[in-house]
Amino acid sequence: MVAGPEDHWCPWREEAERLRGQVEGLRERLAGLTTQFEGKLNVLRASFDTLKAASDAEIERLRGKVTQLSGEIESMKRRLLGPKSERMPSIEESLAQEGEADPELAWSRRRENAALKRQLEVIRTLHQVAPEKRRCPRCGRENLKPLGEGRITAVTEHVPERFIRHEHVQEILSCPCGEYVVTAEVPQKVVDRGRYGAGFVAHLVTAKCADSIPLYRLEKEYRRIGIPIKRSTMTDLFHRAAELTRPLSERNLALVAKAEVVHADETSMKVLDEGKCRNGFLWTFLADNVIAYRFASSRSGETPKQVLGGSKGTLVVDAYSGYNVVEEVSNRERAACHAHVRRYFYEALPTAPEAKRALEFILDLYRVEHEATEQGIVRTPAHLALRGERSAPIRDRFKAWLDAEKPRHLPKGPMGTAIQYTLNNWDELGRFLENERIPLDNNPAESALRRVALGRKNFLFVGHDQAGRNVAGLYSLVATCEANDVNPIEYLADVLLRVQTHPMSRIDDLLPQNWKPLARDGPPPAQVAG
């Protein structure tokens, strides 16, 4: 029987089978190693992607921080080291550079200055020709005749201020019967049995609240004039004036709360507290020609809530969250300030030149307001119509530009911050299109706080919270006097006496915006020479 191929034994076949088995085992092992490697590779790849994303985020954060710090450094360098020409120009200056400033305004200021100069007392001194020159060198005549009135040269001089000692003599009469003696009434005083009159106290208050002169400097000035008065006495007189006029300052604050459009702002004021200072805050609220201040120990929204709670209208403020409570307790809408927006974009200029376009949009809005002033239609329906026709399209273009620019800038950089601030307050910035009485900015409130900032720089702090409230009340009266072209010294010298006996039902008569000097009946008291 012949054997088949499958029955044939060959050692090479067994070797081939053995090797084939090893190859299959190696292939399976390789497949397992490949799977294991790919798994580890995927883990490493995921870890790398995570680290790369975190790294990119950190790089982006650091880039934003660098941009932010660069902007802050440039701003600080410009404020501290840069020339004054680098400060942000005002809207009036910007319009003047374009030849759009109102020439009538300049002439008006010149006329006001001329009127003030005409109020000065005039003293005329005649300077005669020297005797040796009163002979004609041609004909020898000496009877020279005046040629006209003469050449007048006006020079403004300073005459040292003076105080007087006013002695009030009370007449005493007696009856020959010896049963009746009568003494004339003593005039009203700021302080009973005090030695300083209302005019002196008015000067002291005005010097501190209008001119920001601290009492220690006034002490030196008064001594030079001849009045040795202690600083503690001046402090007492100052607080006495605030006490007497408190009904007036509180009434003005109540009148502001009734106004349709109210401006508000706040700033810090140091308060002495057990040998060290803590922060207090002075708030200002103003409407039209009335400026009121309110002192508070904190910056919380409690102060605007107390002042404006229950009122209605519009509140023009910055984006500080402390004013949010006003909308909760009143029917007031918030209107935002374009001056703040302008300031943000101006600060972004060193690192983002394209911010100039935003400044141009804002200037275009102010240009419309300037045109309304020239036409004499401010706060009229025609003013609102002009805003709808001219200002609304400008805002539309500004909004489109902001939306296009936002993705191009880092959120934390100066430009990104300016864009985000504007977009966050966009609706509030557009309130002026709804009411012709709403202005574009909150500059009146910021200007009202300049006296506070200057006073804070000069007299540093107030002694206690009540002193802060007293300063706020007198600031209110002095600032409202200046807003109504009333001399605060004349006003205070009058009302410090009248308010003590004036009926509260007619207290509005004594407010700076309504004040008229008291008309005397008959001749003044007889003057007795000393």
Write the pLDDT tens digit of every residue in 189-239.
888 778 889 999 999 999 999 999 999 999 999 898 888 899 999 999 999
Helix axes 465-483, 198-209, angle to 10 degrees: 90
d(CA 459, CA 437): 37
* Position 520 pLDDT exceeds 70: no
Predicted TM-score (pTM) of this structure? 0.76
Single-letter residue type at 230: K
Cβ atoms within 10 A of the Cβ of 67, count? 21
Taken in order 223, 227, 231, 235, is the CA torsion positive or negative? negative
Q: Are the C-beta atoms of residues 213 and 436 closer than 8 Å to each other?
A: no
d(CA 95, CA 385): 22
* Position 105 pLDDT exceeds 80: no
Per residue in 283-318, pLDDT (tens digit) is 999 998 999 999 999 989 899 999 998 999 999 998
d(CA 451, CA 261): 22
- Burial grade of 319 (CB within 10 A; 0-12, 13-18, 19 or more): middle
pLDDT of residue 79: 63
d(CA 507, CA 519): 17
Helix (H, G, I), strand (E, B) or coil at 265: strand
pLDDT of residue 71: 66
Single-letter residue type at 488: P
pLDDT band at 121 (very low <50, low <70, confident <90, very high): confident
pLDDT of residue 6: 55
Per residue in 435-468, pLDDT (tens digit) is 999 999 999 999 999 999 998 888 888 888 999 9
Per residue in 127-152, pLDDT (tens digit) is 888 888 888 888 888 888 888 778 88
Single-letter residue type at 24: E
